Amino acid sequence: MTGYVIRRLLLMVLTLFGMSILIFVMLRLVPGNISDILFDSAGFVDPVDKARLEAELGLDQPILVQYWQWISGLLQGDLGYAYVSEKPAIDEILPRIPVTAKLAALALFFSVILGVPLGVISAVKQDTWLDYILRVVSLSGLSLPSFWLGLLILMAFVQWFGWIPIYTDKPDTLLKELGLLSIPAAAVGFRASALIMRLTRSSMLEVMRQDYIRTARAKGASDFAINYDHALRNAMLPVITIIGIEAAFLIGGLIVTETVFNIPGVARFLVEAIQWRDYPIVQNLVMLIAFIVVFVNFLVDMAYAAFDPRIKYQ
Amino acid sequence: MAAVDHDAELQKAGANINGGFGSLLFFIRSYPLGAFGAIIVLSFVLTAIFADFITGYDPTTTSAASSLAKPGIAHIFGADFMGRDMFSRIVYGARISLIVGIGSALLGSIFGVIVGLSSGYIGGWFDLLMQRIIDIMQALPLLVMALLMAAALGPSLINTVIAIAIPLIPQTARVIRANTLALREMPFVEASKAVGMSEWRIAVKHILPNTLAPLIVLGTAKLGSAILTEASLSFLGLGIPEPHPSWGRMLSESAAEYVRTAPWLVIFPGLAISVVVFGTNLLGDALRDILDPRQRQ
């Protein structure tokens, strides 16, 4: 087990290292850097001014030197300076994380609270009308773009309550903030719950076909005990894995939803930074996302190995 | 692999086989939801192809007089701020969605097959290297990867197709590689080697056709996610540029404002995206049940 953990950790570091190269190269492929954007919008371009700006931002250095400056800084906790605001990148990124983290936690909570029970019901009532309805609902959840769902929710609020639940100022209490965030979180969570529901259902059906369930039935255990005591426990294990997939899935939903609801989080900030070619912000934020995805998957693998005694790693 | 007599199997299952029409009826009866999805996808494709005949308005012609016109007889879905007819923008938007959807799903699958097949068949250090590259590509969510690609390539129709196709490669590559690894050990591959066939010929002529079923299943699923990703990219302003009518971008044009004043500008494009993706998902589920029986639920 220790060997397995160490190997997984090394693989994680290797993946993140590869990612850093990929992001860096990709951003430098972009035609035009921030100095082009700033000077193009100004109309008249003085090459001397432009060269000075590029030198100031270090954009005239060879690409390897630029990469080394970024990575060595990153390892020491120095993320460089944002181009647009000229503030340290860390001061731009850190304050925006709590809102996004709360939104993500709420969305994950909604998706599990909705997805797991509905998936179980769908499996237990397989091929009944209830199962059909739940399957169509979950499939439609995967088909609605979450930004459109967010817009529909906004529209419903305008229609029925006459106000729009978008984030203008930071609410004074945590409870109020969570209340306000729960609306966009529901939009993201509904989509994610559809994924959980489908996987819970298939995992549950898989388990219910196994011999020990037939044995339980033969010895006269009640349907309730079979479904919820015998089957559900084993069916939950693969569902844990989904949380790993969900991490990636949720981030995509957060990006568009924060834009719709005007939430000042990191996910929306990434889009703004990409549009401005604000390299220090984009490369650090993308590294953060990659780290979260890789780390959550690592934790899921560890949880799997710890909880399932059937799994053995050399 | 034992040969399966498909007709006999279908007959046993109660199918009335009279050529293509019989199996079509069988499909509709056994997979009503899948058939419904197929109808949606088919009408989507036909709308995209025959857009010019469906609507009388040009999707890019502006008109100050009909700015923000409500849905009515002249404009059944209303008109946007620039007075462009929403119905024809949605009809022509199907063309954009179809091009991006099929284009990136196809491109992603082709590269996925090339990577997966060569990785699984060649093996060794090449396989190891490819696997690590795929790990790296999978460490970013589809939308984030597509956003970066779209920004790197610049806004255009072709670049959007490429930006979405690249993040679609890893999943196909993984599945094809796993299939190839299993198939490589099959007796028929050994037999082909014994007859003196070249490695290349075995990979393309014998292994590839056997991975077709999962490829079709994955490809259909990718069609839906490619259409959704295009909508999200365009919504965020990094996808299809003007003057192409993209469903996603129609929703970005100050949608938060129109939620109050012109809800029809928000409802119809979103509905179009959702219905089409819903159709591909229904069809994809049915295809998975038919072509990949091991995953049947």
Question: What is the secondary structure of A184-209 as a DSSP string?
Answer: HHHHHHHHHHHHHHHHHHHHHHHHHT
CA distance B217 to B285: 8
What is the pLDDT averaged over residues B221-234?
Answer: 91
- Chain B residues with beta carbon closer than 8 angstroms to that of A256: 143, 232, 235-236
Q: What is the pLDDT of residue B254?
A: 62
- Chain B: closest CA distance from residue A260 (Å): 7
- Chain B residues with beta carbon closer than 8 angstroms to that of A197: none
Please name the residue that has the structure tokens 């800084």.
A73
Q: Which of B135, B228, B270 has its CB closest to that of A151?
A: B270
Q: What is the pLDDT of residue B135?
A: 87
Q: What is the pLDDT of residue B154?
A: 81
Q: pLDDT, tens digit, for every residue of B96-132?
A: 999 999 999 999 999 999 999 889 888 889 999 999 9
Burial class (CB in 10 A: 0-12, 13-18, 19+), B60: middle
Q: What is the pLDDT of residue A159?
A: 77
**Confidence band for B10, pLDDT divided at 50, 70 and 90:** low
Give the global pTM.
Answer: 0.85
A290 and B282 in contact by Cβ < 8 A?
A: no
A151 and B33 in contact by Cβ < 8 A?
A: no
Q: Which of A19, A148, A166 has its CB closest to that of B270?
A: A148
ipTM: 0.83
- Taking alpha carbons only, the member of A91, A95, A260, A237 closest to residue A185 is A260
- Chain B: closest CA distance from residue A309 (Å): 25
A294 and B151 in contact by Cβ < 8 A?
A: no
* Residue A29: its H or E element: helix A2-29
Q: What is the pLDDT of residue B1?
A: 45
Select the more confidently predicted residue: B64 or A89: A89
A266 contacts A94 by C-beta, under 8 angstroms = no
**Confidence band for B296, pLDDT divided at 50, 70 and 90:** very low
**Confidence band for B229, pLDDT divided at 50, 70 and 90:** very high
Structure token pair of residue A178: 């969570």
Alpha carbon A55 to chain centroid, angstroms:
36
- Chain B: closest CA distance from residue A154 (Å): 7
B256 and A260 in contact by Cβ < 8 A?
A: yes
**Would you call A88 helix, strand, or coil by DSSP?**
strand
Contact partners, residue B221, CB within 8 Å, separation at least 6:
B280, B281, B284
Q: What is the pLDDT of residue B42?
A: 92
B5 contacts B241 by C-beta, under 8 angstroms = no
CA distance B214 to B176: 8
314 residues of chain A, pLDDT tens digit each: 788 888 888 988 999 999 998 888 887 766 666 666 666 655 566 667 667 766 766 666 777 888 888 888 888 877 777 777 778 878 888 888 888 888 998 998 898 889 888 988 888 888 888 988 998 888 888 898 888 888 888 888 877 877 776 666 666 777 777 878 888 898 888 888 888 898 888 888 888 888 888 888 888 888 888 877 777 777 777 777 776 677 777 888 899 888 888 888 888 899 888 888 788 888 889 999 999 888 888 888 887 777 766 665 54
How many A-B residue pairs are in contact by the CB < 8 A criterion? 143
pLDDT over 70 (residue B70): yes
Backbone torsions φ then ψ of B15, nearest 5 degrees: -85, 145
What is the pLDDT averaged over residues B203-224?
Answer: 85
What is the pLDDT averaged over residues B203-232?
Answer: 87
- Taking alpha carbons only, the member of B283, B141, B59, B118 closest to residue A146 is B141
Q: What is the pLDDT of residue B165?
A: 94
- Chain A residues with beta carbon closer than 8 angstroms to that of B297: 201-202, 205
Angle at the Cα of A145 (from B110 to B294), degrees rounded to 5?
Answer: 50
Mutate to test the interface with B, among A151, A283, A295, A300 (most CBs of B within 10 A): A151
Q: What is the pLDDT of residue B66?
A: 66
Q: What is the pLDDT of residue B17?
A: 52
Burial class (CB in 10 A: 0-12, 13-18, 19+), B20: exposed
Q: Which of A22, A143, A256 has its CB closest to that of B274?
A: A143
Length of chain B in terms of residues written: 297
Mutate to test the interface with B, among A11, A17, A143, A286 (most CBs of B within 10 A): A143
What is the pLDDT averaged over residues B190-196?
Answer: 87
Q: What is the pLDDT of residue A314?
A: 45
Residue of B nearest to A17 (CA): B136
- Chain B residues with beta carbon closer than 8 angstroms to that of A8: none
Mean of the per-residue pLDDT values of chain B: 83
Q: Which of A29, A158, A256 has its CB closest to that of B235?
A: A256
Q: pLDDT, tens digit, for every residue of B133-168?
A: 998 888 888 899 999 888 888 888 899 999 999 999
B230 contacts B161 by C-beta, under 8 angstroms = no
Q: What is the pLDDT of residue A178?
A: 80
Mutate to test the interface with B, among A126, A274, A276 (most CBs of B within 10 A): A274
Q: What is the pLDDT of residue A41?
A: 57
A23 contacts A289 by C-beta, under 8 angstroms = no
- Chain B: closest CA distance from residue A57 (Å): 19
A37 contacts A54 by C-beta, under 8 angstroms = no
Q: pLDDT, tens digit, for every residue of B244-271?
A: 888 888 888 666 677 777 788 888 889 9
Q: What is the pLDDT of residue B297?
A: 41
